[in-house]
Amino acid sequence: MNSVNSRLSDACGGLRLRTAGFILDSSSTELGFKRKKNHHIWVSILSLFLWGIVGITATVGFTPTALALEYNKEILVEADFSGRDLTDSSFTKANLRQSNFSRANLNGVSFFAANLESANLEGSDLRNATLDSARLVRANLTNALLEGAFAANARFDGAIIDGADFTDTLLRPDEQKKLCKLAKGTNPITGRDTRDTLFCP
């Protein structure tokens, strides 16, 4: 009887051990599964974080800027540059007769000795532009910004300058007098009277 009990006890003990082993195995498997799951979550978070950095860098660090272009000595009669960003570009000695630069960004552009006869520069930004020796005869400079432009020896015969801003523009005294005869209006961006910016009496 004792031997039967002993065998039953051994069998039950083995079963308990095997059951405990199964519990141990299943808990270690579950622990491994949790670790893998946590690993995948962290990999996903890091991946999203890195993609976010790449996206921000691409947007902020590599913002496309206007390229300075060179059109020196080119014949661009009736060319259309309206609304373009031409910052720091060069049109030195170019023939730009009857060309259209309306509402263009011409900040820092060189029009040295360029022919801008009858050109449309309405609403253009010519701040800090070089207009020295340029021919602006009958050019339309309505509401143009010429603040800080260098326009020594430039010719403005018959130009339309209604609302143009000539603040700190370098002009020959005789050209300044001619412009004062034509000057009227107020610049819509700066709110300055054209006559005031030309120091007209």
pLDDT given at position 38? 61
Q: What is the CA radius of gyration of the chain?
A: 39
> d(Cα 171, Cα 185) in Å, to the nearest integer?
19
> d(Cα 165, Cα 189) in Å, to the nearest integer?
9
From the list 159, 152, 114, the residue with the least C-alpha distance to 132 is: 152
pLDDT given at position 68? 78
User: Would you say residue 83 has pLDDT above 50?
Assistant: yes
> d(Cα 151, Cα 128) in Å, to the nearest integer?
10
Residue 20: pLDDT band (50, 70, 90) is: very low
> d(Cα 164, Cα 143) in Å, to the nearest integer?
4
> d(Cα 113, Cα 132) in Å, to the nearest integer?
6
At 116-163, the pLDDT tens digits run 999 999 999 999 999 999 999 999 999 999 999 999 999 999 999 999
> d(Cα 186, Cα 196) in Å, to the nearest integer?
9
At 23-56, the pLDDT tens digits run 445 455 555 555 555 656 665 665 565 455 545 4
Residue 58: pLDDT band (50, 70, 90) is: very low
Count of CB atoms situated within 10 Å of the CB of 104: 25
